[in-house]
Amino acid sequence: MSVTAQEILDTILGRLKTLASTDTVVGEPVTIGDLTLLPVIKISVGFAAGAGEGGGSDPAKGQGQGSGGGGGGGANVTPIGFITYDGKDIRFIAIGKGKLDALIETVPELIKKIGLAKSSKGKGTEE
């Protein structure tokens, strides 16, 4: 059975398309009160494939016909931030090296907004 490098690449790329779908890159929304969070991730992939055929001229010396192929790859999935919507504004909060502090700094503001939203719903008036 002879496998070509193109067939190997087609198989790998077909599986990568499934991995890198929109549903994977932008996650399911999470709603807390009036605040909706939409996680966003980055996917990095690398792969290689190869195939070859060979044949010797003298089968008596162990130089027979042969073919082979193979491929491999890897993927790295990294969260990069959240898209937030509070009913008025849409923001992107980035996380990552050096930006995790920025996310932590916004947590009190988000908690405050959730608390205000819950208290205003309970009173029937908006503060």
**Rounded mean pLDDT of the chain?**
74
| Per-residue pLDDT, 16 | 73
- Neighbouring C-beta atoms of residue 119, cutoff 10 Å: 12
Residue 50 has pLDDT above 70, yes or no: yes
Task: Annotate the chain with three-state secondary structure.
Answer: CCCCHHHHHHHHHHHHHHHCCHHHHECCCEEECCEEEEEEEEEEEEEEEEEEEEECCCHHHCCCEEEEEEEEEEEEEEEEEEEEECCCCEEEEECCCCCHHHHHHHHHHHHHHHHHHHHHHHHCCCC
- Euclidean distance between CA atoms 127 and 125, whole angstroms: 7
Whether 3 and 67 have beta carbons less than 8 Å apart is answered as yes
pLDDT digits (tens, 9 = 90+) for 62-117: 667 777 777 777 778 788 888 889 888 898 888 865 655 666 667 777 777 777 76
- Neighbouring C-beta atoms of residue 82, cutoff 10 Å: 21
| Per-residue pLDDT, 76 | 80
Full-model pTM: 0.47
- Neighbouring C-beta atoms of residue 77, cutoff 10 Å: 13
The percent of residues above 90 in pLDDT, for the chain, comes to 0
Q: Where are the domains of the chain?
A: 5-54+62-123
